[in-house]
Structures are given as structure tokens and as C-alpha cells.
A = this chain, B = another copy of it.
């Protein structure tokens, strides 16, 4: 990465310009360190350019580059008619099997923990190639086989009608058979895996909760959306990524924000006009729609992604879901994950560096500390020495802090000092 050489991890409190006042009336701490916006911008522009050229020359690694394509399984986006075709061919094979006296069964990829693999070169979790037979003529699998056939039929209908439904809709089409929604949900993921396509290719979507604002134009179901003209509320991220396209942007980076409150601050201040960027948030735990949208932006626009999360184990966990996926959806990690997300802040070392007042820091609970220690054992943390250092500091100091803690220096400290200084110092990991 081109930014590695240029990075100066300057401590903002290490020189003589100390102006920390602690109150809203006194000058904002570290504000004097800020260079002119034009200086910060021109450096950022160089960075984005070098990022772009490196990401066009570097081919994204795939399972086959690593000789893993025969032992690992991955799905891809399929259009509706291909999904329909694949279902029809699958059912034809089943019918042939019945006619030739071999009975009715599906060969379903195993999705349990034992079949999961973290691949460091890809920096994400993938599914290994183990499958298990789901025969109709077996008391222990007859229900699941029936559910599988029913889900295949329902998805086939969706393909013909070309409409999207939620998992909840799917469940209610046959409550008698599915009994509870966890059963239809689980088989839905099985079916995506069996067909070798993403869950969104099946036209079954999750309710969206993410919003986006800033220097982005895209089409949503045929309507052109200009995200600089979405006021303070922003544009709701569409639940169906297959109807999103034509992305255009003059942004220099994507700012991924964990929480609502910080998003609102940046949207109202139109931060994206001072530092051209796209601001996106899932308002907490990342949903599938926001993850797909983030990846699509990063891939099509070739922009660096900087993440602003709380300084606690949960914030890092959210970062990891965007970055290398969740275990439940590992079969689709290639489409759901956004590689190379940078941890901008709030980082544990920021607490002292930016002199966050003691009363705005929170003591970590026993559970927090345990989660933090568990994260230190995760591959996606271990491969980044900077992250290990930060997380170790967090667990050692037993302190956490929310993004909102910066409000103790004034409501606009986040948008007027903290983020500009972070960008100026290229202070991300």
C-alpha cells in the first residue's frame, strides 16, 4: 500500500502548541495543528490516486489463485433466469434419480463451524467443500428435504415474477410446513449454497436500515439518486443490491460510520463537501444490504474505506463483519466483505492522545474484556500488528469510549477537528 511509506503517526500532543482548554469557550484542543484544507486535500488526492492505480494493477485474489477452488466453495451473483435454469436442472436431476430407482435426495453443502476456514491471503472466512446427503426416505431428514423442495419452488416463483420478498414473507407462505422462521431461514441459505449463488440472487432480501449521504450518484430501481442532495436524512440504502447500479463519484474516500449520532453530525455539517467523501452507516450491527452496498462502492469506485467506530471490542467486531464476514454467511464472503478497511478511530490510543476526559471513558465490563481477549486470538486481528497493539492497549487499560465522547470538546469537534486532523496525519491502521 502506497500510504504505508507516507504515514507519520505523529502524536498530536507531542509538540508545544498545546491549547487544550477542556471547555466549549476555550480554543478547541489540537485545532491549531490543522493545516489548510487545501494542503490536506492535495495529499489525500495523491493517496486516492495511488490507491486506485494499485487496486487496478493488483488483481483480487480468488480461491483458484490459491489452488483452493477444489477444496473450498464459493457462490457468485446469478441473474434471475440463471437461477431459474439452475433450479430446473436440479429438479430434473432429482426426477431422474427417482425414475432410475435411486430415490429422492438433495446433496447439501455443510455450513457448520467444522466446515469453515479463514484464508489469510483472502482475508476472509470461506466454506470448505464438505456436503451431506439429505434423503427423503429417512425419518430424520424427511422434513428438511420437504422444506428444501418447497423453498426451491418458492424461489422459482420469485424468479418468474421478478419480485423481491423478505425472509418473513417466505416463512408465512407455508407456516404449517416451516413451523418457525429459523427453519425456513436456514434452508434458504442451504439453497443458495446448493445453487452456487448469493442469497440476494434468490431475490430474498433483508430489511434495510443503512443510510448513505455524500458524493455519490447511483441508480436505485431505475431512479437516479444524487446523495449530495439528500438533505440531512440521507438516502436509505436499497434492500435489493441487484437493482443498484451506475455508481459515479468524485469522492476521495468512503467514511464508514458505526452509529447514527456521528452520521447525523457529519451529514448536517456536510462534511463531504469540505473533504469529498461518501458517508455510510448501518446504524449499529451491519445488515446484509449495507455490506453489499459498501462492497459495491469500494469495488466500482476504487476508493479507500476509513472506519469510524466506538473504541470498544464491539466496534472492532463490527469492523470485522464488514471486513471478513460472519460465519453464518461464509459461503458468500466474496460478495459480502469489503477488503482492506482502515481503522481510523476512535482507537484506544486516541483516548490519551486526544485527552478524552476521564469521565467520558467507560470502564470495560468483564464480558467486554473477555470479548477483547477473544478478538486478540482471531486471525483477522492477528494479521494486522497495529490492531493487535491497539486492542492490547484496550484490554490493558480496561477503558472504552464511544464516538460521542468527542462531544465533550464541543458538539462539532468530530467534524471540525478530530476527523480533519486524522486525515491530515493519515492516522489510520
Give the interface of A toward B (CB within 8 A): 24, 157-158, 161, 163-166, 168-176, 205, 207-209, 211, 219-225, 229-240, 243, 260-261, 264-265, 268-269, 283, 357, 359-360, 402, 404-408, 410-412
Q: Are B223 and A230 in contact (CB under 8 A)?
A: yes
How far is it, in angstroms, between the C-alpha of A209 and the C-alpha of B243 when the chains are bound? 22
The answer to whether A172 and B360 touch (CB under 8 A), given A260-B207, A264-B207, is yes
Q: What residues of chain B lie closer than 8 Å to A405, measured between beta carbons?
A: 172
Q: Are A261 and B169 in contact (CB under 8 A)?
A: yes
23 interchain pairs (CB within 8 A)?
A: A158-B411, A161-B411, A163-B269, A163-B412, A165-B265, A166-B261, A168-B404, A169-B265, A169-B404, A169-B411, A172-B404, A173-B407, A173-B408, A173-B410, A207-B283, A208-B233, A220-B233, A221-B231, A221-B268, A223-B230, A224-B229, A233-B235, A233-B237
How far is it, in angstroms, between the C-alpha of A168 and the C-alpha of B357 when the chains are bound? 16
How far is it, in angstroms, between the C-alpha of A383 and the C-alpha of B211 when the chains are bound? 40
Q: What residues of chain B lie closer than 8 Å to A359, measured between beta carbons?
A: 175-176
Given contacts A208-B260, A230-B235, 8 further A-B contacts (CB under 8 A): A163-B268, A163-B412, A169-B411, A172-B408, A175-B357, A224-B229, A231-B238, A232-B240
How far is it, in angstroms, between the C-alpha of A303 and the C-alpha of B175 when the chains are bound? 37
How far is it, in angstroms, between the C-alpha of A329 and the C-alpha of B412 when the chains are bound? 28
How far is it, in angstroms, between the C-alpha of A233 and the C-alpha of B227 when the chains are bound? 13
How far is it, in angstroms, between the C-alpha of A175 and the C-alpha of B408 when the chains are bound? 8
The answer to whether A220 and B232 touch (CB under 8 A), given A166-B260, A169-B265, A359-B175, is yes
Q: What residues of chain B lie closer than 8 Å to A260, measured between beta carbons?
A: 166, 207-208
Most buried by B among A171, A220, A232: A232
Q: What residues of chain B lie closer than 8 Å to A171, measured between beta carbons?
A: 404
Q: Which residue of B lies closest to A153 (CB)?
A: B24
Q: Report A53 CB to chain B, min CB distance, Å.
A: 33
Q: Report A87 CB to chain B, min CB distance, Å.
A: 16
Q: Within the complex, which residue of B158, B163, B207, B236 is in contact with A261, where a contact is CB–CB below 8 Å?
A: B207
Q: Are B264 and A205 in contact (CB under 8 A)?
A: yes
Q: Within the complex, which residue of B158, B237, B243, B407 is in contact with A172, where a contact is CB–CB below 8 Å?
A: B407
Q: Within the complex, which residue of B172, B224, B283 is in contact with A402, where a contact is CB–CB below 8 Å?
A: B172
The answer to whether A264 and B166 touch (CB under 8 A), given A232-B221, A232-B238, is yes
How far is it, in angstroms, between the C-alpha of A325 and the C-alpha of B146 when the chains are bound? 47
Q: What residues of chain B lie closer than 8 Å to A175, measured between beta carbons?
A: 357, 359-360, 408
Q: What residues of chain B lie closer than 8 Å to A163, measured between beta carbons?
A: 268-269, 411-412
How far is it, in angstroms, between the C-alpha of A165 and the C-alpha of B414 when the chains are bound? 12
Q: What residues of chain B lie closer than 8 Å to A168, measured between beta carbons?
A: 261, 402, 404, 407
Q: Report A366 CB to chain B, min CB distance, Å.
A: 20
The answer to whether A229 and B223 touch (CB under 8 A), given A161-B412, A283-B209, A408-B173, is yes
Q: Within the complex, which residue of B207, B232, B412 is in contact with A243, where a contact is CB–CB below 8 Å?
A: B232
